[in-house]
Structure formats: C-alpha cells, structure tokens
A and B are shown apart, each in its own frame.
Chain A
Amino acid sequence: MSSEMTTVLIVEDEPEFRMRFKQIVESEPTLELVGVAASKREAQELIDRTKFDVMLIDLGLPDGNGTDLIRQVSAKRPDVDIMVVTVFGDEQHVVSAIEAGATGYILKDSTAADVVSCIRLLRAGGSPVSPVVARSVLRAIRNRMGGAGGNTRPGGASPENSPLSSRETEILQLLAKGMSFNEIGEILGISPHTVTAHIKKIYRKLAVHSRGEAVYEATQMGLLRGTS
C-alpha cells in the first residue's frame, strides 16, 4: 500500500452516479479505485477480499439496506472511513448511517471537488456535519443516555453520564446553531481542523453507543437471553 494513495471502494446501484463517482476517483491522482459494487451481494464479496481506506456507499441498494454493510465494515475495519452517499443529506439517513458506523456523508449532486475534499477531510481525521444532523446527534446521545431525553435543559444533560466531553457537546451545540467550522474554531480558539476531528470522535462515540444500545434492547426483548 502506497503511503500517499487513498484506496476507495464504491457501492452504488444507479449506473449514472456509479459512473460519476468512478470518474471523480479515477481522475484524482491521490485516490485509487479498488472496487465498484452495484448491489449488496457484490459489495459483500469486495469487502471480504479487498483492502480499502474509504467506502462510498448508497444506503438504498436493490438487495437490501446498506446500513448492514456499514455496521459490518466499521466493526471489522475500524480504520476504514465510511461515507454515505445521499440525495438530501437529511437527518434520517445520515444519523442512522452514523449510528451504524459511518463518519461522513456526501450529497449525490456534489461537485467533484466537494467529493475529493470530503474524502480528504475524512482521511485527515475530520468529519463533515450539517446543523440538523448535529442537533440530531445531540438529541440521540441525550435520549440514549437514559436521561430525560429532549426534556433535559440545554447544556445540563447530566455531564457525568454523557459519553461526550464538554468540548464536544459545545461544538455540537454551536454547529446546531448554524455556525461554520471556522467560526466555531474562532470562538473556541481551536483550528477548524480540530473541530472536524472532534466531530469524527463524536460520530464514533454515537456508533459505539448505539451498538451497545442495540445489545441492550435485544436483551430487553429476550433476543439475547443467553448473553445477558
């Protein structure tokens, strides 16, 4: 594996978009395309026998939901950055993908430059986030803390229980108000890069936490009685 090259796997069922992402990756010298899958089954095979740094994945695949693949890859290969491809970047898609283990998302109509810079951001240890997603993440983490959920007072979400550090919470709160990475960096006296790194950590925590919660819920429902 060359030190500078980032290997990319694309999972996208629509030929138009598959072609477009393929072109974007191939035309970027620092990126190397290692595989393209049009279905869950194809992707499964590629995941099993290919090494890659970044996976671009569409959630709606003809033979199933891509979330399973995200969960699988993030559990097996925590070093891989998973980027969800979405039409709207709406919270429902993005948050469920983050919970499964994705650390980034990109809109389907993004320009080539956007796609590349987003991959670079991910590889550099950062994650993009929109205010609506930031707010959803905040809420998701609060609700799953077993606290009073959305009724907790701003900033007072029992800090000792929260998996987020106070800095991370602060960043999410500012993001949810619509502040940019630069503005947040200025306010907090940190670089925008650090801000995105924080976001990635938050994503990871949410994914880990939602995995734990899935086990907890399954136990509650009696699905995993043997392990409880």
Chain B
Amino acid sequence: MRTRLPPAPRPALPAVPAHLRALLLVLAAVVALFVSPLARAMDIRTVDLTSTAVGAAPADDAQWQSFDLPLRWTSRPGEPLRAVALRMRIPLEAPADQAWALLLSHASTGGRIFVNGRMIGEIQSADAATEVRWRRPHLLAIDPSLLAAGENTILLQTAYRSGVHVLAGVEAGPLAEVRGAYDLQYLASSILPWVGGTLAACFAMIFGLLWLRRHDATIALVTLASGFWVLRSAFFLIETVPAGARLWLDALFYVANGGFAVVMTLVLLRLAARGSTRAAWIAALYAALGPLLLLVTSGHAAPHLDNLWLPGLIGMVVIGLAYALVSPVRKHESLQVVVVTAMTVAIAAAGYDYGVAQGWLPDATMLALHWAGPLLLIGLATPVVDRFVGILGEAEGARNDLESRVREREQMLKRNYERLREGERMQATAAERQRIMQDMHDGLGTQLVSSLMLVERDALTQAQVAQVLRESIDDMRLAIDALAQGNSDLLAALGNLRYRMEPRFRATGIELIWDAREMPEELNVNPDHVLPILRIVQESLTNALKHSGARAVSVSLQVKQVGDDTPELQIRVTDNGKGIANERVGGRGLLNMRSRANKVGGTLTLESVPGTGTRVKFVYALSEYHTGLTRTSTQMGLNTEAIIERFREGGG
C-alpha cells in the first residue's frame, strides 16, 4: 500500500540563488506528481501461483500457492523457459454496468490474460526466440458481460527465463477510474526515460561538439555523463530482445551505470580539488569490473553484482560527495551548491531505486533516477553554461573596453594632430614674419634710410627725391605682390611686375615684350624665393630701361625639362641696346642680382655684346614645387620632430 509522503521540504539555504531555486521547484513538482493519490478501483493484493507447461493452462489439480503483491521471483541463469499461471480474484457486489479495464502494473513477463476463463488479451511473453522485460503498464479492456456478481477469476499465464521477475500490482475497475493510474505509470516508466534519454542525447551532442572545439575537462565529463545516461535510458526502453541478446543488454546496463558513477565521482572530486589520474583509474577499473564479470560468467555473476557491485558504485559516488562537502567551497559558490545538491538528490534516488530493485521498497513503477538523472545532467551542465555566458560577457566587455580605448586614442591623436597643425601654422607665420622683416630691412628700410641721408645732405634735387620715393613705393608693391594670397605663384607675381612697369616703358617709348605663352597656368615655387626672383627681373628691366638705350626689351619665360632632372624655369631678359661695357659687368646692381640668384639656388648669366644688346639669363630648378595648381597654404620646410619634442616637454 502506498503511503503519502510528506511534501518535499524546502531546504533552508541562505540566499538561495535563482537557478538553484528553480531546480528545487522542479524537484518538488516532480515529487508531488508521484505522491499524489491515485484513483483506486479495486486493488488486488494477493495472487495464487502454480507452475504450468509452457503455453498451457494450469491443470485442474494444480497446487496453488498464495503470495502478496507485489510479487517478485527469480530464476537462475541458464535455466530453461518456464511457465507459471497467476490467479487473482475480484469479488463484485453487482454485475458491471460500464466498461471495465484491467491494469497490470509492471508485469515484467507479460502473458495471456483470462477473465472467468475467457481470454481478454495477450502481452508478448518470453518464448523460444524472445526475451521480454516489460516496464510499462498494460491496460486491458474487460467486456462487462464477462463479469458477474460474486467472485470473478483473473488468470495470467506467463513464461520466463532467468532473472528477477515482477508483478507489481493488478487493478481492476471501471475504465475511467483505472485510466488515470495507467497514464501516470506510463509516464513514469516510459515517457520519463524517453525524455531523459533524449535530453541526454542532446547534451551529449552539444557538449561533444563543444569538446571537439575546446578540450575542456568539465565539458568532457558532461559529455560522458550524458552519453552514459543515453545508454542507461536505452536499457530501460528496450523491453523485448532476441533471446540471445539478453546478456548484452544487461552488460549495457552495467556499463551505463558504472560509467555514469565514475563520471559523477570525478566531477565531485574535481569540485573538492581532489581529482587525480590515479583516482580516475581506480574508479574506472571498479566500474569496468561489473560488466566484465557479467560477461565472463555469462550472466551467472549477475545476482552477486547486483548485491555488491551496484551498491559499491553508489558508495563510490557517496565518497566523492563527501569529499566535495568537506572541502571548503572556493569559487562559483552557488554553482557548486547546484551540483552538490543535484548529486545528493541523485544519490538518494539511486539508493531508492536500488531498494526497489532489491524488493526492500514496495513500488516498482517509480524509478526515481528516471527524473533525478536528467536533473543531475542539467545541474552538471549549469557551470559550463554559466562559464560560457560569463566568457561571452567578458568578451563583450573587452570589446567595449577596446572600442572605447580606440576612441580615446583617436581623440588623442586628433588633438595631437591639431596641436601639430597649430604648431606648423605658428611656425609658418613666424617664418613669414621673419621674411617680411628681413625684406623690409634689406629693401625699403635701407633705401629710405640712405635716401634720408642724401636729402639731409641736400644732395638730391626734388626730382631725385620723387624718384627715390617712387622707387621705394615700387619696391613695396613688389613685396606686396610677392606676399599676395597664395603667394607661391611666381607667374602672376612676375606678371604683376610687368603690369606695373609697363607704363614706364610706354612713357620712355621702349617696347616691352612679354612672352609667357608656353607657361603653365600657375607656377608655384618656394614662397621665400618669389621676392628675390622678382627683384632679379625688376633689376634687369630697370637696367634695360635706364641704361641700355634699347628700343625693345623682351622677357621670355620658359619651363624646360633637361634630361631626367627636375624641370627648370628659365627667364631671359633681352634688350637690343648698347650692351654693358666689361668694366661694368661687376657693378653693384649685378652683384646684387647674382647674390639673390645664389640665395634661391639659381644661376644668373649675363651675355652682353657691345652695340648689339644684353641678355640676362636666370635659371631656377623647380625641385619640389611643381607647376600647376597643386599647392598648399604653407610650404615651409618643417622640423616636425622638433615640434613633437616640444609637445612632450610641454607636457603634451
């Protein structure tokens, strides 16, 4: 008779983590399902048994022996096919008036069922070719007309070979009432192993694939445990086998249990930080002992193994659990609690199942490991999943961190770049200022000071003063042209010089021919070089205007590529005047022109044929400043390293 178990007590753990609480809730629900009272119609408690010939009805004079249900009987290995008949009685006060059914709970040998001498059904039983071991319940309809008021007889004719055989219970009653009990028993004996086996198969695949990618011990253990659980579930789900395969099926059961126990022990030892190769070998050897002995003895060792080896497996896991419990919990506290709790529950379930198998506990339809095992697998997988999730989080955090650092670095680079640009700009401005100062000093300043001294000495006529002032203004305009925005275009600056000098040539009746047709649209040169070049040309033109007595002056501008070298600018100022006498070739004006040409890295040549004219030729290499419009606002040669060094020193 079933007793109602108290509801699962809720363990008073301090600060139970959410996933542990969920696990406990599931546990409680499963337990509650199994202890719920079953609708009982008519529970048959005793059964009469007699031996028969295989396939035959019991003899009329058969000796019947009475037994209480559940009934367990064993047959030693190697014994031939035997048959028994089991007789049960149903007393009825009135004839049945509705559909009846007979529920056989865990009738492991099957057989033919008769009601009042009429067969109502047959469940496959052992025969010459087949071996059966039914775990599922069987529900057989009874025609109400078969049942009469008073005593009704139910007869079960069954056959069996070696092993432990069971008839856990027989119930008869209206179909509606028996149905519920049948469903529940079917769930416990068939659906649960299917679910557990499927879950374990999924785990085995997922974690197995994971292990292929990453050889991690925990993942390997979860995979192995799942694999063994698949085997174990298969054992429970295979209910009919060919007669010769029985031994192998039993060996499968031993392998599955042994393997699973070894894995559990290793998991627990690892939790306790006591895992060692030696411990693993000892556990594996012990686990291998069972199936080996079974096979070697052709099954004869089975009863001894069941009595000694199986509890030994449980004991092995208990030792592991003990280690895990006494070891100080170090890291992932909650996860360890999950694993240890699930393990404890599973050990209890294994103990319970063992008790049932041994007949110490009454009900054989409720194998606790069917649900405790899958829960244990989930418990084992939790740390792996948790770690995986943790690693994902870390990776995400690392990526975010990296991104923000890259952003920061970008900002810093940008700031540095801006400061560098600012530095360049400042240096360019400083250079520009320097250039203007130098220019004012050498040009206009000197001119004005020397003129002032002449005026003070009364050495100049008014016309000469006007002339000096005009030259000063010209010089200033020249400087301004050279400084014009985008001031590296030599061509426009030269053009402006021509434009400004044109009226004076016109006034003296000298023709000024300007040939710049072959020139590119712009000619960008080092801004420092614009003014010196302008001065050279201005000086040449002024000389031609003042001293040559020429009728025409021609300026020809050309850019020429000489060999593979950089292109060069050639400026020729030619007049058809009287030429320069040799003694004047070394004059001050020419010396100035030469020194300016040297300053910009150009060469100046003077050809003069007295009576024919003079030609000044200036050649300037267009090294880094190309013709065309590619120009930048500052083209100063910058000492970038020095600027960076300055930033460093300034705490940049």
A pairs with B: yes
A interface vs B, CB < 8 Å?
Answer: 88-92, 109, 114, 130-132, 134-136, 139, 150-155, 173, 175-180, 183, 187
- Chain A nearest CB from B296 CB (Å) reads 92
A68–B545 alpha-carbon span in the complex (Å): 42
B496 touches A131 (CB 8 A): yes
Known: A151-B630, A153-B629. Is A177-B495 also a contact (CB below 8 A)?
A: yes
A90 touches B480 (CB 8 A): yes
- Chain A nearest CB from B518 CB (Å) reads 10
- Chain B nearest CB from A145 CB (Å) reads 14
B519 within 8 A of A: yes
Known: A135-B522, A139-B486, A178-B498. Is A151-B629 also a contact (CB below 8 A)?
A: yes
A173–B503 alpha-carbon span in the complex (Å): 22
Dominant secondary structure of chain A at its interface with chain B:
helix
Known: A132-B492, A132-B493, A155-B521. Is A90-B498 also a contact (CB below 8 A)?
A: no
A192–B511 alpha-carbon span in the complex (Å): 17
**Of the candidates A91, A155, A175, which one forms a contact with B495 in the assembled complex, judged by CB atoms under 8 Å apart?**
A175
B485 within 8 A of A: yes
Known: A109-B473, A114-B503, A178-B496. Is A90-B522 also a contact (CB below 8 A)?
A: no
A183 touches B522 (CB 8 A): no
Nearest 5 CB-CB pairings of A with B: A178-B495, A131-B495, A154-B521, A177-B516, A135-B492
A131 touches B519 (CB 8 A): no
Q: Closest residue of chain A to B518, judged by CB?
A: A177
Q: How large is the interface on B (under 10, 10 to 19, 20 to 34, 35 or more residues)?
A: 20 to 34
B631 within 8 A of A: yes
List chain B residues, Cβ under 8 A from A132. 481, 484, 492-493, 495-496
List chain B residues, Cβ under 8 A from A177. 491-492, 495, 516-517, 519, 521, 557
- Chain A nearest CB from B437 CB (Å) reads 18
Counting chain A CB atoms within 10 Å of each CB, the highest count among B485, B503, B520, B630 belongs to B485
A154-B521, A176-B495, A180-B498 given. 20 additional CB < 8 A pairs? Answer: A130-B499, A131-B492, A131-B494, A131-B496, A131-B498, A131-B499, A132-B484, A134-B495, A135-B486, A136-B485, A136-B486, A139-B486, A150-B629, A154-B628, A177-B491, A177-B517, A177-B521, A177-B557, A180-B502, A183-B514
B575 within 8 A of A: no
A178 touches B492 (CB 8 A): yes
B337 within 8 A of A: no
A-B pairs with beta carbons under 8 Å apart, 14 shown: A90-B481, A130-B499, A131-B494, A132-B484, A132-B496, A135-B522, A151-B629, A154-B629, A178-B498, A178-B514, A178-B557, A179-B495, A179-B514, A179-B516
A153 touches B628 (CB 8 A): yes
List chain A residues, Cβ under 8 A from B516. 177-179
- Chain A nearest CB from B523 CB (Å) reads 9
B171 within 8 A of A: no
A128–B496 alpha-carbon span in the complex (Å): 12
A194–B486 alpha-carbon span in the complex (Å): 29
A130 touches B496 (CB 8 A): yes
List chain B residues, Cβ under 8 A from A187. 517
B489 within 8 A of A: yes
List chain A residues, Cβ under 8 A from B489. 135, 176
Counting chain A CB atoms within 10 Å of each CB, the highest count among B491, B495, B630, B631 belongs to B495
- Chain A nearest CB from B559 CB (Å) reads 12
B477 within 8 A of A: yes
Q: Which B residues from 105 to 139 make CB contacts under 8 A with A?
A: none
List chain B residues, Cβ under 8 A from A91. 484-485
B348 within 8 A of A: no
B492 touches A88 (CB 8 A): no
A178 touches B480 (CB 8 A): no
A51–B502 alpha-carbon span in the complex (Å): 35
Known: A88-B476, A150-B631. Is A173-B485 also a contact (CB below 8 A)?
A: no
Q: Closest residue of chain A to B483, judged by CB?
A: A90
Q: Closest residue of chain B to A142, judged by CB?
A: B629
A130–B489 alpha-carbon span in the complex (Å): 14
A11–B389 alpha-carbon span in the complex (Å): 83
B491 touches A176 (CB 8 A): yes
Q: Closest residue of chain B to A175, judged by CB?
A: B495
A131–B498 alpha-carbon span in the complex (Å): 9
Q: Closest residue of chain A to B477, judged by CB?
A: A88
Counting chain B CB atoms within 10 Å of each CB, the highest count among A177, A183, A187 belongs to A177
List chain B residues, Cβ under 8 A from A155. 521
A136–B522 alpha-carbon span in the complex (Å): 11
B477 touches A89 (CB 8 A): yes
List chain A residues, Cβ under 8 A from B477. 88-90
List chain A residues, Cβ under 8 A from B520. 154
A114–B470 alpha-carbon span in the complex (Å): 16
List chain B residues, Cβ under 8 A from A134. 492, 495
List chain B residues, Cβ under 8 A from A114. 503
- Chain A nearest CB from B459 CB (Å) reads 24
A109–B473 alpha-carbon span in the complex (Å): 9
A90–B486 alpha-carbon span in the complex (Å): 13
Q: Closest residue of chain A to B632, judged by CB?
A: A150
List chain B residues, Cβ under 8 A from A92. 484-485
List chain B residues, Cβ under 8 A from A153. 628-629
List chain B residues, Cβ under 8 A from A151. 629-630
- Chain B nearest CB from A173 CB (Å) reads 5
- Chain A nearest CB from B625 CB (Å) reads 14
Known: A88-B476, A88-B477, A152-B629. Is A178-B484 also a contact (CB below 8 A)?
A: no
Q: Can you list, as one digit per residue, whether each of B613-634 has a CB less than 8 Å from chain A (1) or not (0)? A: 0000000000000001111000
List chain A residues, Cβ under 8 A from B470. 109
List chain B residues, Cβ under 8 A from A150. 486, 629, 631
List chain B residues, Cβ under 8 A from A175. 495
List chain A residues, Cβ under 8 A from B629. 150-154
List chain B residues, Cβ under 8 A from A180. 498-499, 502, 514
- Chain A nearest CB from B105 CB (Å) reads 88
B484 touches A90 (CB 8 A): yes
Q: Can you list, as one digit per residue, whether each of B637-650 has a CB less than 8 Å from chain A (1) or not (0)? A: 00000000000000
List chain A residues, Cβ under 8 A from B631. 150
A179–B496 alpha-carbon span in the complex (Å): 10
**Of the candidates B473, B491, B503, which one forms a contact with A178 in the assembled complex, judged by CB atoms under 8 Å apart?**
B491
- Chain A nearest CB from B439 CB (Å) reads 15
Q: Which B residues from 57 to 92 make CB contacts under 8 A with A?
A: none
A3–B254 alpha-carbon span in the complex (Å): 129
A176–B495 alpha-carbon span in the complex (Å): 7
Known: A90-B480, A91-B484, A135-B522. Is A178-B494 also a contact (CB below 8 A)?
A: yes
